[in-house]
Amino acid sequence: MKIRAVLGCLIMPRPMYRSRGWRRIKKITPGGELIVHYEKRRPGKARCAICGRELHGVPSLRPYQLSKLAKTMKRPERIYGGVICPACLTRGLREAVRASLHTSKLTSPL
């Protein structure tokens, strides 16, 4: 078993797996053998479309892993959830309401 583990480290990986685009995950099989699994790296974290801050509650997974998640687990259940951060949303809503009040005052007949 031990010899196989040592030999396992010496085996040359396939050319595609020599790139650092692949994460290496060391696993020990039930037989005690050390093997290396390759996985694509995780994508970057989701960012706010306005200020660029990192968004919470949005998992950074590969699309095939995201497709397995429930819709409620993919983004916060708020308007523009997973697109803009709560601070930008609050500011945007306030500006929109203030702008609408301003225009309604100008156009009202009273």
Interaction site with Zn ion (CB under 5 A): 48, 50-51, 53, 85, 88
Q: Which is nearer to Zn ion, 22 or 80 (CB)?
A: 80
Pull the structure tokens for residue 68.
């397995």
Q: Which is nearer to Zn ion, 36 or 50 (CB)?
A: 50
The distance of closest approach from Cβ of residue 52 to Zn ion in the complex, given in angstroms and rounded to an integer, is: 7
The distance of closest approach from Cβ of residue 89 to Zn ion in the complex, given in angstroms and rounded to an integer, is: 8
The distance of closest approach from Cβ of residue 79 to Zn ion in the complex, given in angstroms and rounded to an integer, is: 14
d(CA 93, CA 55): 18
Q: How many other CB atoms sit within 10 Å of the CB of residue 74?
A: 17
Answer whether 37's CB lies under 8 Å from 20's CB: no
Q: Which is nearer to Zn ion, 35 or 88 (CB)?
A: 88
C-alpha closest to that of 60 among 79, 41, 77, 80: 41
